[in-house]
């Protein structure tokens, strides 16, 4: 059925921005840039690392360099590059996940009122949000591995050998966080660092479980049509076998 266009694309985009912002606000899902501060001048102790990232990033790029005769006073290191890229990717992917979640919330009522419809837009943005959250968690791990171990995540993940007498799977998501917590290289006198690494290792375990749950949900959603076709095929096969056994078909 043809639907008459009643609003311009620009006005529709503005309307969607407002609708999505309202739904996210109702659930207190804020932009990642809103975290890190208690007020304009006071960092939030719970998000101190993010506050530091905002005011003292690992690499402050000078946009005016490269133009005219301005001298370049610093050659960025590989470590600075990895930290800057992975941290920025993390922020971008969290923002995309938030927007996809907002679109899902916007479509939620429609999906609930039409349970037997495909609800493609709802599931599209659900899957997008889950994929982006998993990607963001990868960037968090990449950032941490470089910051603590001074290694690229590809180098860390491909390590061989044992750790504390046991075969260690370095590529497991939570391994670098647990290893950092138990690291003998860490200063034992620095109790605050030990406490923070302990909390981080616990959070990494939670992130890993959430990643597993999201992967299962994404698989469930993206394979719905295939599952339906398999069920229909098997029912038809069963019906044929029954009719053949009864002599109804040859």
**Block mean pLDDT (10 aa), the chain, length 250:** 76 91 93 89 87 86 63 83 94 95 91 77 91 95 94 88 64 89 69 84 92 88 78 87 83
**Of the candidates 38, 36, 73, 70, which has an alpha carbon nearest to the alpha carbon of residue 52?**
36
pLDDT of residue 113: 81
* Alpha-helix residue ranges (DSSP H) falling in the chain: 9-26, 48-55, 78-113, 120-149, 153-157, 175-181, 191-222, 224-245
């Amino acid at each position: 059925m043809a639907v008459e266009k009643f609003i311009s694309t620009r006005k529709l985009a503005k309307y969607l921005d407002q609708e999505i912002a309202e739904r996210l606000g109702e659930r207190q899902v804020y932009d990642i840039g809103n975290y890190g501060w208690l007020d304009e001048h006071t960092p939030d102790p719970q998000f101190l690392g993010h506050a530091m990232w905002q005011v003292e990033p690992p690499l402050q790029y000078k946009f005016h360099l490269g133009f005219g005769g301005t001298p370049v006073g610093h050659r960025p290191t590989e470590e600075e590059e990895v930290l800057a890229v992975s941290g920025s990717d993390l922020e971008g992917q969290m923002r995309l996940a938030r927007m996809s979640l907002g679109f899902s919330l916007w479509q939620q009522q429609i999906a609930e009122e039409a349970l037997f419809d495909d609800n493609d837009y709802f599931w599209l943005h659900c899957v997008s949000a889950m994929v982006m959250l998993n990607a963001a968690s990868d960037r968090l791990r990449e950032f941490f591995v470089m910051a603590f171990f001074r290694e690229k995540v590809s180098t860390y993940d491909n390590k061989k050998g044992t750790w504390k007498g046991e075969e260690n799977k370095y590529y497991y998501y939570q391994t670098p966080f647990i290893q950092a917590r138990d690291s003998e290289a860490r200063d034992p006198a620095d109790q605050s660092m030990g406490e923070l690494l302990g909390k981080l290792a616990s959070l990494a375990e939670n992130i890993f479980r959430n990643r597993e749950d999201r992967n299962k949900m994404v698989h469930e959603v993206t394979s719905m049509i295939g599952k339906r076709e398999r069920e229909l095929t098997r029912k038809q096969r069963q019906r044929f076998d029954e009719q053949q056994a009864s002599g109804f078909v040859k």
